[in-house]
A = this chain, B = another copy of it.
Amino acid sequence: MHFLDIGEVVARSGVPPSTLRYYEEIGLIRSVARHGLRRQFDHDVLMKLSLIAMGKAAGFSLPEISGMFGSDDRPDIPRDQLHARARELERQIIELRMLRDVIRHVADCPAPSHMECPSFRKLLKSATTTTASRSPKPPTTRARSARRR
């Protein structure tokens, strides 16, 4: 009976209790028992929370992540969906690299107005064309959580 009290899960995972309750409410995780009122979780929940965190970071929505676990609670994701997401991540990476270059350019270019700097325009243009072909479903929370300091 090495169940984890919710307080312990909070301490170990850094996920706030309200979030854990919310996740349970939407069926993303589940508690296995109560001690008084207190939820007790199986030890596995920590791993699951890691996967959830990664899924979020990768731009999956909670319902999507939810769908990634089979009834046995183990990861069970359609491969093509995963590959699609990997490609999407690849695209994001490319985009970030471009943005990084643009920003670096802005920092270093001595031209009075960037709009008139040919190499700035060029960077921007190449960025724009790749961005134009971006996926219909923009990841919203992903970069934020990935970016937290």
Contacts and interface: CB of A to CB of B under 8 A. Distances in A.
B96 A58 contact: yes
A76 B32 CA distance: 53
A51 to B, nearest CB: 7
Counting chain B CB atoms within 10 Å of each CB, the highest count among A128, A137, A142 belongs to: A128
Interface residues of A, number: 65
Contacts of A138: 14-15, 56-57, 148
Contacts of A14: 132, 135-138
B134 A107 contact: no
Interface of A: 14-16, 44, 47, 50-51, 53-60, 74-75, 77, 79, 82-83, 85-86, 88-90, 92-93, 95-100, 102-104, 106-108, 113-115, 121, 124, 127-128, 131-132, 134-149
